[in-house]
Structure 1
Amino acid sequence: MSEVQRSLTVPELEQAFMNDDHHEAARLLEAVGRAREEGDDNAVREAFAAFVEFNREHFAREDELMERVGFPQKDYHRQEHAAHLARWEALLAGLEDGSMLGADLVSALDDEIIPWYQRHFTTMDALLARFAERAAGG
């Protein structure tokens, strides 16, 4: 078991791409934990960079879905994405410039990122997936 919590539970939602993306995000977070276990700050940085880049793409896919189906809470949902992506980019910048160590990132993962992602999966994303399914006639 890594220092990173392995308790990120990915719910199955009505949108297959969201399920696939959420499982990939969980896998990428676990890769950060494994890199930290190995004590390799460069590998931690690279793994976290992959997580950040993946989420940039994932959030863009969700944004497109929200626009396409006319999701009423799209502005708030997008703001959540933007705020957390900005925070993750700041953490990544700290890893890149040496002002933050892999152990610091693990604390941020356990205290911020994983709890937020878990809430986001089960609230905002679940709502979006249900809305999109209904909009498609499901």
Structure 2
Amino acid sequence: MAAHNPMYWHDGLLVGHSAIDDEHRRFAALIQSLREAPVDRLAEMLEELLQLARAHFLHEDGLMEATAFPPRKCHIGEHAAVLASISGVQARLVRGEVAVVRRLAEELEHWFPAHVQHLDSALAHWICKQQVGAKPVVLRRNVAARPAAEAA
């Protein structure tokens, strides 16, 4: 499953901020579920994804503003673009366009890991540096997500 699905959760997606990491796990699970959901559940699941994304992005946006995170405008803009995409896909699903929902899930699968590993990781580092003067400590234990040769 991990080889075919970029949204397979692994500890490489941890940023070291427990609240953000928990939200990321739920976000990843919803994206994967959206790809696999029966057609009659797509609207419900897309709405759940939108609500989680709104809450999560609002949380991160608030952290960026509160800590004066230097690249916050770019990061916040990316959040707004994702929310607009999800809302646009919802409107198309209402018109019966099911394939566009699966395509959104695919696009999010490719966008999300890079966003987490670059922008969100930098945010977690910034917050930790502001609070305790150091980078966050991230323990990567999910050995099952790595190829067997690396795990040895």
TM-score by length of 1: 0.85
Equivalent-residue separation in structure 1 for 2:85 and 2:100 (angstroms)? 14
Show structure 1 runs of 5+ residues with no match: none
Aligned CA RMSD, in angstroms, stands at 1.6
Show structure 2 runs of 5+ residues with no match: 135-152
Residues 9-37 of structure 1 show CA distances to partners (whole Å, capped at 9, x for unaligned) of 451112111100000001111221231xx
Alignment partner of 1:126 is 2:121: yes
What is the SS of the residue equivalent to 2:5? coil
What is the aligned partner in structure 2 of residue 63 from structure 1? 61
Per-residue deviation, 1:7: 2.1
Alignment partner of 1:107 is 2:103: yes
Per-residue deviation, 1:42: 2.5
What is the aligned partner in structure 2 of residue 30 from structure 1? 32
Equivalent-residue separation in structure 1 for 2:55 and 2:119 (angstroms)? 17
Amino acid at match of 2:18: A
The structure with the larger Rg is 2
TM-score by length of 2: 0.77
User: What pairs with 1:1-138 in structure 2 (closer than 5 Å)?
Assistant: 6-8=5-7, 9=9, 11-35=13-37, 40-98=38-96, 100-101=97-98, 103-110=99-106, 112-137=107-132, 138=134
Kindly report structure 1 stretches of 4+ aligned residues shifted beyond 4 Å: none
